[in-house]
Every structure is written in structure tokens, then in C-alpha cells.
Amino acid sequence: MQIVVNVDMVCTQKKISLQGFSGKNSLMEIIVTNKYLLKNKIPWLPTMGEFHFSRYPEDLWEKEILKIKFGGIQIIATYLFWIYHEEIEGEFEWSGNKNVRKFVELCKKHDMFVFLRVGPWAHGECRNGGFPDWLLQKGCNLRTDDPMYLKYVERWYREIAEQIDGLYFDQDGPIIGIQLENELYNNKEHIETLKKIANKVGLRAPIYTVTGWGPKGGTKFPEGEVIPVFGGYPEAPWEQHTNELPPNPNFFFTHLRNDAGIGNYLFPSSNHALSDDPTVYNYPFWTCELGGGVQKTYHRRPYINPENVGTIALVKLGSGCTLLGYYMYHGGRHAIGKLSTLQESKDTGYPNNYPVISYDFQAPLGQFGEVRRHYHILRNLHMFVQDFGDILAPMDMYLPDLVLANRFDTVTSRVAVRSNGESGFVFFNNYQRRPKLPDKEEMQVKIQLPGKALTIPFQPFTLERDAYFFLPFNFDFGSFKIVYATAQPLCKLYNEKDKELIYVFKKCKGLKVEYVFEGDITDSIVSHKEFSEVCNIDGSNYTKISDVQLGIEKSILLKHKESDKNLRIITLDHMHAEKTWKVKIRDQERILICPTHNIFVKDDTIYVYGENPEGYFYLYPTYENDKIELDVNLRAEMVAENLYKISFWFEEIKSDVKWYEEKFVKSEFDRFLYTDDSRKDNVKQFKLKYKILGNKEDLDDLLLEIEYVGDVIQAFVDDKLVNDDFYDGFNRFHLSLKELNFPEEIIIKMSAISKFHDIYLQKVPDYKGNDRVAVIESAKLIPVYKREIKFIKRR
């Protein structure tokens, strides 16, 4: 099947700046155009991840910010929940976990931008959407221009402004943007009022946004005052039913931005028609809520796998997005306030019940900092946009002549092209959450460029089920021009020692790797010459390198006769690509591949953390003055040219966990174990005790993992509720014992799940012949080891 994409009519719309959306300080200038951002006059395609400082322990902020940074995120977005900071009227709290100033300062320390979502109404599955209870009792018309309400809003904004004074962008601070309100789709006058109040009290940034989704084409917003930003989730646990959802349009390429299904239970209309208000096309296509996962509701408990998250991000990029923003990127926990619990619930008039504590969100980084596979999948995409975003951002998006007939179409191929009329990227997606898509055989894409057509690849291929990737075409790689590659670009760097431009690619699912160059370059090929051939297609000569070998040590090297700009192409398999980081050590860019653990880098020190008691990583390239600070648990060796293998190991922690069923003891949180009084007799209680053998000093964390079958699970330490969750058929219940200072025992309470419950589950539990079940199937301790590997200057 040949797919035709016509790029012959190149978009001539000028990339004009949006008046009023710009900022300048002593370090940089930021300008918003109607297509993308400019940073110091260079197109910029940033990544943004949501992390709520008030929902995470203050002493762990810095480590988690670094983990976010080394996931390829450049901007941290964070809500300020009014009820967290003024639960009691007139008593503002800005210390401890609520210290927004310290959090923003840490972001600045690590060169992270900040996007503040200041409400006043925030949602975020928070009690009253973030409004304090006392505000609801004032009798004012909330989320309107009611003068009484605006008086309290101004006081709230003024408090925020004072806390972060000195950290604004025009003060060389990291605050690049402010989101006003949230999901207010029908009162643009109020949005304009909020911006005026923010400016009046000194709350300012180069960029102001509002959420753009909503019924009938999306949010109505004051033009020229704010930029509408969008979202897209793999599932919709807020839907008020327990049936399987229809196919999700976030899994196919489209010009449309509005996802009217987000939070639709708050809209008076259930109109889910796919449509955009034409006004939004005057603004860049940005997202703030691509689902890094989803939070489970009591009645809908979808399990989000890593491919759900990775596919939607790639599809939005292929659909023209120029800012990738995720919600949530890092999970957290609801606080328990002085007056009430702080999660959204039906008790407060909202339609959904959420866990009291857990706000894990199934995010790339979990509520205890757990690293999940979609963290790595997304990092591959983020590495690309950091190194190629200046090229991609100005490119327009084009769809094939034949597009999907409707959301139920599983036959038509899903393809998009982003191009400047000469070069670009072709995006493929054959993954969908439900239903699964069949293989697409004999696939080729014919891109009709101005004056010339290019068919990719030359030989048809099978686009396999669940495959999603993008391929480059017509790019200058140093002194050589790649006509196309059947591998996805990851990053680029320069090896100063050998004067080489290095491009790193990853193999795509089901595709044989080949690189096709313009002209006959066989004399320049140093390695892989035996896999090269010159072919003539439509009167033009090309050099094709096929059967490409994978791995750093098997790279393709091209040496140019007339310059010292040599080209090295490294192609990695999926596993090694996902565990690749691009880092800077001793002012030199490197790639670091760590199949066994996770890493971040700070001050020329590699911080390694993970669950294996021994591991290794590869560092490429190396330089003569590299020197690693060795200890008895570290070994460094050169395994190939310019390639270090650094091995490390720990004293293995041994543990044993035992649990005992005991008599149920009543608690103030009992009501969250069931949804009606008829289930009160279905609760069990267990006591867990454990032993740890080994040196706990090497631990970054020690996680208790419980595999269970039940309805609602709660964990208590010293009669304090410390975590809870809803069973979804897949997940494991976690608890950080290090964070809890290694308590002697943990009490687990669990209500029974019944086959008669009206709950959406993707995986039905084994009831073992019973109508209901509440059982712990296993419990174990998972040590997360840590090591610091320092690079020092060789004397």
C-alpha cells in the first residue's frame, strides 16, 4: 500500500510573533510566534512535565528534579492548590512541603524552567478543585467577576507573588509561564480579569496560558491575552460509566487540537464532537496535559501501559505540536489537612472518588520516585527534540490523501509528515489502546515535495502491529546528505578528539535498518563498506547501506575527502536506546548507556540508582584526560575504541517479609474502604513485619511491594494513614520504608472486591470460586541501590 502525502503546497503563513508574549533578561530572550517559541532567536521545541511540590516530601525535591531533568524535561509545571496554603482563612502556610520559593530556587539551580499553574480553581483531583472550604461558605459566585470573589483571589495571587519575588523571568529567574484558572471554558472575560489581577500584584511571566479543551470547539478565551494549551489522555477514568470506551482519537494524526473528552463530567454538554474553534490556529499548538498516565477513580480503574503514553506523545509531535507538556510526569500524594482529607470525592459534591493519599497517576516517575518504562520511552523522544527541535519546530504538518474515515477505522494507515518543503520527518503509528490494529503490509510513503517526489523506503515493508516511530528524509549530516533512514534519530554530538559528528539512531520495530545517501559515496565509507551498494532510481544515484549492525562498537564511519568533518552513525537496538542518556561530563557531550540502572549527572558525578545489586554502563566517547575516582566496588575498562565500560556492585540487601491476619481495628478512615454501608463486613486487616540484612547506607530507598487482590487497600504506620490505592488487576502496592524511617511494623487494611461491584477493570481477578476476595498474595522488599561515580581532572 503506497501512502501519498502532498507537500507540494508549502505553508506560506509567516511565523509572526504574538504581540505581548515575549520576555528578556540578562541571559536570554524568549518570543512566542504563532507557530513556535524562539529562544535567543533560535526555534525552540521544549518539553514540560507536571510535578506538584506540595504533594512530595521537601527533602526529596532536589533528587526528583534531577530525575525529571535527565528524563529530558526542560520545564517543570506545578499547581499551587489554594487549600494547601490557606486551609484556615487568613493562615497562610509556605514552609516545608508548601515552600514554593525553595522549589523554584531548586529548579533554577538545575537550569529548569518553571510554569506556575496558579488557579484560583485548579482541579488536579484536589478537594473542591483546590478552593478552601471557607471560601465556599462565603456565598460569592466562584470563578466569576463577582467583586467579593475577586477580593479573595487578589489576596491569593498577592501571596504567591510575594513568595516568588526575585525569581521571575525578568529577574533572571526560571518562571517562564503562568497558567490562569483551569478548564474554564465559557468565561473569557473572567480569564482577562484574572490576568489583570496577576499583573497588578506583580505575578508575571513572558507566557500566559489557559487550558484550551472543552465542548463545542474548546475554551473561549480572550484573544491576545493568553495562549490556549491542550491535552490528550489514553483513557478517561472520569467518565461516569463502567463500559469499555470507544477508540481514542488521541492515537491518530490530525490537525485537531481539542479533546472535548477531558474532564467532560464538568461540562453541561456531553458533546464530544471532534472540532476546533478556528481561533486556535492563530496560536502555536502546545500541550500541557498529555497523559503521562491517568489517576484511577473508584468506578473506573484503567491500567496504563508504557506504549499508551509513548504513542500519544509521538502522535502529537507528528500532528504539529511545538511544546510537549505532560500531566502527570511525576506522581505524588494528597496531603491530609488540619480539617479534612484533601482529595476529590463525592462527599464534596464532585462526581468521582479518588484515593485519600495516592496520586501516583501511573506516571513515568511514580509517587515514590519509581522509574517506569515510559520514562525511558519518552526520554528517547525528548533527546530528539532537544537536539533537532530547532529544525522540527518550524515544520508544518501534512496528512495523506487518504485519512481515517472515523475513530473505528482500523484499516487505513496512520501516517503524517512534518516538512519545510525540502526535508522533514515521516511519522508512522500502528498502535492503539483498544482495539488492536492489524499489520499493514507493503507499506511505502510517497512524499510529493515541490518539484520532486521521494518514496520512503525504496522497498515496501510491513508496518507491524503496535509499531510507532518516525524517519528522517533529505537531511544534511555534516558533509553528507541522507536521503532517508529507516531508523529513528535519537541525538547528535561532536567528538572533539577525532573530529567526528556523531548521530545516534534507534532501530524501529519490524524495520530493517538502512541508510540511503545522495550520490556515490562508497570511497568515503570506512566501516560497513561490505554492506553498501550504489543504486540508480529515477535517474539519480544513491548509496544504500543495508544490514546495519547494532551497537556503539559497530558504528558506520564516513570520512570526507576534502574536510575533517567525518560522520559516525551509531544504531542502537530498542533496549539499549531506551537506556541511553545524553550527558555532559567535564564539559564534553557523551552518550551513556546503562541497561541495568538509572542515572542522573551533577557536577561531573554520575549518580547511579536501581534495583540490581550489580550493574554496568557504557560511556562514549572518552577523552585522554578522563579519570574516574575508583573504589573497591568499581571497575573501569576500555572495551572498544573510545568506549568505557564501568562496572559496579553493592552489598546485596536480603530481606524477609511476613504478614499475619488479625482482628480489624476501627479507624477514622474506614469509610474510604467501601462505598456503602453494606460492605462494612468485607474488610480484613493484616500486620506486616520484616527483617533487613545488609548495609542500608547504600540504599536510595527500600520499597515494600504488596501483590494483592481486593478493592481498596490502606497502609498505616503508628495509626497514621500513609498510603492507599484502588485495585486495578495489574498494579503493585508500594510504600517507601526509608521515607518512613524503617518502621517496625505496617498495618494493612483491605476491603473485598466483589464480582458484583459495578467497577471497570481491564483484568478481572481470580475469585477462586468466591463472590468476593481480599487477600495478600505476596509481599517483598525491593532495595533501590545508589552509587556516585566521580570524574576528576587527570593531573
Answer yes or no: do 405 and 341 share one domain. no
Residues 6+ apart with CB under 8 A from 10: 396, 419, 420, 421, 450
Q: Is 268 exposed, middle or buried (0-12, 13-18, 19+ CB in 10 A)?
A: exposed
pLDDT of residue 673: 92
Answer yes or no: do 511 and 595 share one domain. no
pLDDT of residue 12: 46
Q: Is 512 exposed, middle or buried (0-12, 13-18, 19+ CB in 10 A)?
A: middle
Contact status, residue 746 vs residue 704, Cβ threshold 8 Å: yes
pLDDT of residue 11: 54
CA distance 51 to 68: 9
Contact status, residue 121 vs residue 184, Cβ threshold 8 Å: yes
Answer yes or no: do 241 and 321 share one domain. yes
CA distance 356 to 334: 7
Specify the 3-state DSSP secondary structure of 189. helix
Q: Which amino acid is at 151?
A: K
Lookup result for grid cell 459534591: 349
Render pLDDT for 618-636 as a digit per residue (tens, 0 to 9): 999 999 889 999 888 999 9
SS (H, E, C) 231-271: EECCCCCCCCCCCCCCCCHHHCCCCCCCCCCCCHHHCCCCC
Q: Side by side, which strands form the sheet with 487-495?
A: 487-495, 500-507, 566-572, 556-558
On the question of pLDDT at 459 being above 80, the answer is: yes
Render pLDDT for 189-222 as a digit per residue (tens, 0 to 9): 999 999 999 999 999 999 999 999 999 899 999 9
On the question of pLDDT at 16 being above 80, the answer is: no
What is the mean pLDDT of the segment spanning 28-40?
A: 96
Task: Report the Cα 684 to chain-centroid distance in Å.
Answer: 37
CA distance 795 to 792: 9
Task: Report the Cα 667 to chain-centroid distance in Å.
Answer: 37
What is the mean pLDDT of the segment spanning 16-28?
A: 89
Domain tally, the chain:
4
In terms of pLDDT, which residue wins out, 695 or 131? Answer: 131
CA distance 762 to 301: 8
Contact status, residue 471 vs residue 456, Cβ threshold 8 Å: yes
Q: Give the cell for residue 390.
A: 530547532
Asked if residue 598 belongs to a domain, the reply is: yes
Asked if residue 16 belongs to a domain, the reply is: no
CA distance 52 to 332: 7
Q: Give the cell for residue 167.
A: 525569581
On the question of pLDDT at 549 being above 50, the answer is: yes
How far CA 722 is from CA of 369, 505, 689, 726, 743, in Å, comes to: 16, 44, 16, 14, 12
Q: How confident is the model at residue 270 (pLDDT cuts 50, 70, 90)?
A: very low
Asked if residue 318 belongs to a domain, the reply is: yes
Answer yes or no: do 413 and 274 share one domain. no
CA distance 523 to 136: 76
Helix (H) or strand (E) holding 396: strand 396-398
Residues 6+ apart with CB under 8 A from 603: none
Which of the 8 DSSP states describes residue 687? E
Asked if residue 712 belongs to a domain, the reply is: yes
Q: Which residue, of 649, 673, 699, is where some domain finishes?
A: 649
Other Cβ atoms less than 10 A from the Cβ of 269: the count is 11
Q: Give the cell for residue 148.
A: 467579593
Specify the 3-state DSSP secondary structure of 616. strand
Asked if residue 769 belongs to a domain, the reply is: yes
Lookup result for grid cell 484536589: 126
Cα first-last separation, the chain? 62
Q: What's the CATH code of the domain at 731?
A: 2.60.120.260
**Pairing of the two strands 712-717 and 699-709:** unpaired
CA distance 520 to 483: 12
Task: Show the beta-strand stretches assigned E in 496-593.
Answer: 500-507, 515-518, 532-537, 540-545, 556-558, 566-572, 580-585, 588-593
Range with the poorest average pLDDT among 153-167, 305-319, 527-541: 527-541
Asked if residue 383 belongs to a domain, the reply is: no
Phi-psi region of 41 (alpha: psi -120 to 50; beta: other; left: phi over 0): left
435-461 exposure pattern, b = at least 16 Cβ within 10 A, e = fewer: eebeebeebebebbbeeeebbbbbeeb
Helix (H) or strand (E) holding 745: strand 745-751
Answer yes or no: do 241 and 137 share one domain. yes
Answer yes or no: do 232 and 249 share one domain. yes
Residue among 538, 490, 546, 557 nearest 516 (CA): 546
Answer yes or no: do 499 and 604 share one domain. no
Task: Report the Cα 750 to chain-centroid distance in Å.
Answer: 31
Q: Give the cell for residue 467.
A: 509499531
The per-type count for the chain, helices as H runs and strands as E runs, is 9, 49
- The residues with which 749 forms a beta bridge, in sequence order, are 685, 714
Answer yes or no: do 426 and 346 share one domain. no
Render pLDDT for 503-540 as a digit per residue (tens, 0 to 9): 999 999 999 999 999 999 999 999 999 999 999 988 89
Q: What's the CATH code of the domain at 258?
A: 3.20.20.80
Residue among 394, 133, 430 nearest 284 (CA): 394
Asked if residue 33 belongs to a domain, the reply is: no
How far CA 225 is from CA of 19, 161, 180, 217, in Å, comes to: 9, 19, 11, 19
Q: Which amino acid is at 153?
A: V
On the question of pLDDT at 379 being above 80, the answer is: yes
Lookup result for grid cell 533496549: 575
CA distance 127 to 132: 8
Answer yes or no: do 425 and 286 share one domain. no
Asked if residue 94 belongs to a domain, the reply is: yes
Helix ranges (DSSP H) in 476-591:
574-578
What is the mean pLDDT of the segment spanning 299-304?
A: 97
% residues pLDDT > 90 (the chain): 89
Render pLDDT for 388-443 as a digit per residue (tens, 0 to 9): 999 999 999 999 999 999 999 999 999 999 999 999 999 999 999 999 999 999 99
Q: Which residue, of 373, 407, 426, is where some domain finishes?
A: 373
pLDDT of residue 668: 92
201-237 exposure pattern, b = at least 16 Cβ within 10 A, e = fewer: bebbbbbbbbbbbbbebbbbbbeebbbbbbbbbbbbb
Q: Is 80 exposed, middle or buried (0-12, 13-18, 19+ CB in 10 A)?
A: buried
On the question of pLDDT at 674 being above 80, the answer is: no
Mean pLDDT over the full length of the chain: 94
CA distance 670 to 752: 13
On the question of pLDDT at 13 being above 70, the answer is: no
Q: Is 189 exposed, middle or buried (0-12, 13-18, 19+ CB in 10 A)?
A: exposed
Q: What's the CATH code of the domain at 431?
A: 2.102.20
Q: How confident is the model at residue 265 (pLDDT cuts 50, 70, 90)?
A: low
% residues pLDDT > 70 (the chain): 97
On the question of pLDDT at 467 being above 90, the answer is: yes
Answer yes or no: do 339 and 282 share one domain. yes
Q: How confident is the model at residue 757 (pLDDT cuts 50, 70, 90)?
A: confident
Domain that holds residue 268: 42-373
Q: Give the cell for residue 495.
A: 567528538
Contact status, residue 214 vs residue 228, Cβ threshold 8 Å: no
Please tell me whether the overall predicted TM-score, pTM, comes out greater than 0.85 for this model. yes
Other Cβ atoms less than 10 A from the Cβ of 763: the count is 10
SS (H, E, C) 717-732: ECCEEEEEEECCCCCC
Answer yes or no: do 531 and 549 share one domain. yes
710-720 exposure pattern, b = at least 16 Cβ within 10 A, e = fewer: bbbbbbbbeee
pLDDT of residue 271: 47
Longest dimension (CA), the chain: 83
Helix (H) or strand (E) holding 176: strand 175-179
CA distance 496 to 622: 10
Answer yes or no: do 551 and 416 share one domain. yes
